[in-house]
Amino acid sequence: MYPLNRDNFDTSLKFWIERFLYAKLMGLTAHRVKDKNLFAEIIQDIQSGGRQSIDDIAAVCKKARKIGLLGINTYANPVFMFYGYCVKLGFSDMREIEATHLQEFLSIYTSNLSLATIRNYQFALTNFFEFIEKNNVLDNGASHLYSMEAVSKNHSFKQDLPEYLTQEEFAKFLNALKSYNLAQKHVNEIVKLRNQVIILMIAYSGARVSEILELNFKDVSIDGEYYLLRLRGKGNKMRIVYILKELIEDFYNEWVNVRQSFEGVNDDMPLFVNKKFNVPAQSYIYVIIENLLANIGIRKAKNGAHLLRHSFATMLYSKSKDLILVQESLGHSSVETSRIYTHFDNSKLKHAAHVISNIND
């Protein structure tokens, strides 16, 4: 247990941000982190007692992402944004923060973000205050309670349907990906091939970009006419997806041969390392996908890698009408999360139009 307040409000809030992110770093899977010494340094750097600046804390989180702890941004970005908001409000004591302030923050600072990002902010910040509740102590020996669960109940969301590609658009995108006619600086044939394999795996499996980038070489195997991918999803949950070999075999085999030529590479490393053993950032893959779509004249409200995931899920439900299959394929914790893809199935709605037309029969 730690005192709720320290020397001043700024130091107090930074202290709790550090403790929270330390806990998250320790909870994230470190199996892909090869440089254990650097990981140990990062863990030490996140424990300054609130004395370092918020920019320094952000730099530590950036280092953590670079060595493979990609999930830290889920928690870091929202608390950093909320820190700036609290500083502007001029609090002097941690007890002055109330649920209404969190609601105001979400309303003001997340209004132009996607629904998924808004929910992520809400989850991360309520989780942050739950962490403080469990670990703080006041002078009288009690703990200060924030009761931020009210934010989840009172903060309403606009339920947008996800953007997706039609079958024709999807096929057009895949053709553009395979030809890869993008004008990019510092992109040689090796980088181009790596990008193609990454995006093909996302498109044909419906996996999150983070799940593909975190694949180890040994996580991909052959099972008859399929490639079997062992993915590590949200909450460190493992799942298996299959891709028909014929869809990506030529690209994948070529990439494996190129990868094996890297001096010092081994099978325990990530699948998509470069010669310096670095893995590309998620944001980089998002930009590639956006540029490919722009090149073929496809414009959606959101054009990143998640567009491919939504397209996969939409086509899967459209062809199978199996919501459980969609849930298992996408790694959703609840079938309710997958239910949104039923909104793209217009066959029942068309049937309803015929039913109502016969009202006078």
Residue type, 252: Y
CA dist list (Å): 156 to 103, 126, 148, 276, 332: 10, 15, 15, 46, 22
- Asked whether 71 and 211 are in contact (CB, 8 A), the reply is no
Q: How many residues does the chain have?
A: 361
Environment class of 107 (CB within 10 Å of its CB; exposed 0-12, middle 13-18, buried 19+): exposed
Nearest to 80 by CA among 42, 121, 111, 46: 121
- The Cα 288–Cα 195 span in angstroms is 8
**3-state class of 241 per DSSP?**
strand
- Asked whether 54 and 60 are in contact (CB, 8 A), the reply is no
- The Cα 180–Cα 296 span in angstroms is 11
Name beta bridge partners: 202.
none
CA–centroid distance for 124 within its chain = 13
The per-type count for the chain, helices as H runs and strands as E runs, is 16, 5
- The Cα 176–Cα 2 span in angstroms is 55
Which residue has 């939409």 as its token pair? 314
- The residues carrying an active-site annotation are 208, 234, 306, 309, 332, 341
Is the C-alpha dihedral spanning 235, 239, 244, 249 positive or negative?
Answer: positive
The CA-based angle 1-234-274, given to 5 degrees, is 110
CA–centroid distance for 18 within its chain = 21
